[in-house]
Amino acid sequence: MALKTVYGLVKYNPNPKEKKTSDGVIRALCRVTGEDWDSIYLNLLKLGFELKVMPTDSVVWKKYLDGKGFVYHSIPVEKGVKRPKVETFLREHPTGTYILRVAGTILACVNGHYYTMYDYNDSAIYGYYEKIY
């Protein structure tokens, strides 16, 4: 049986033990910064300690991205209009490095592909960060 190909998805798991765990924030930050899992974990842990929130809290990863030259773009949606989905975003952004905020996690998107373990093509995007070079 042929496996279904998911548009834009590149299977990516930087976890040192290759665990499939709820480390989506660390995974995404590894991909867009080029830093390894351990470094990201420890940096978020330190930042979370300073801010007194959990290391994978949105407050922490947002601050981390702010310090790495990323710029936030909100996605305002008019009443009755649906939010863009991941697949639509990929097609409209074939170049560049982004972090997409979807329900429950964040996704790294680089040059029209997203890097994670699962299919998020139908997930709605609430906002995104763009790497400014």
Partner 1 sequence: MAVKSRNKYYNPNPLKKETGDCVVRAICKATGKDWDTVYTEIGKLGFEMKEPPNYRNVWKKYLENNNFIYHSIPVKKGSKRPTVASFAETHTKGTFVLRVARHIVTCEDGYYYDLNDFADSAVYSYYEKP
Please calculate the CA angle 1-107-11 and round it to the nearest 5 degrees. Answer: 30
- Which residue in the set 7, 10, 36, 45 belongs to the binding site for partner 1 (CB under 8 A)? 45
CB atoms within 10 A of CB 17: 7
53 near partner 1, judged by CB under 8 A:
yes
52 near partner 1, judged by CB under 8 A:
yes
Q: Considering beta carbons, is residue 6 or 117 the nearer one to partner 1? A: 117
132 near partner 1, judged by CB under 8 A:
no
Give me the phi and psi of 92, to 5 degrees please: -90, -10
Distance from C-alpha of 5 to C-alpha of 8, rounded to nearest angstrom: 9
36 near partner 1, judged by CB under 8 A:
no
- How far apart, in Å, are the Cα atoms of 77 and each of 18, 106, 110, 127, 130? 37, 19, 24, 11, 19
10 near partner 1, judged by CB under 8 A:
no
Q: Residue numbers of the site for partner 1 (CB under 8 A)? A: 15-17, 19, 21-23, 25-26, 37-38, 41-42, 45, 48-49, 51-57, 59
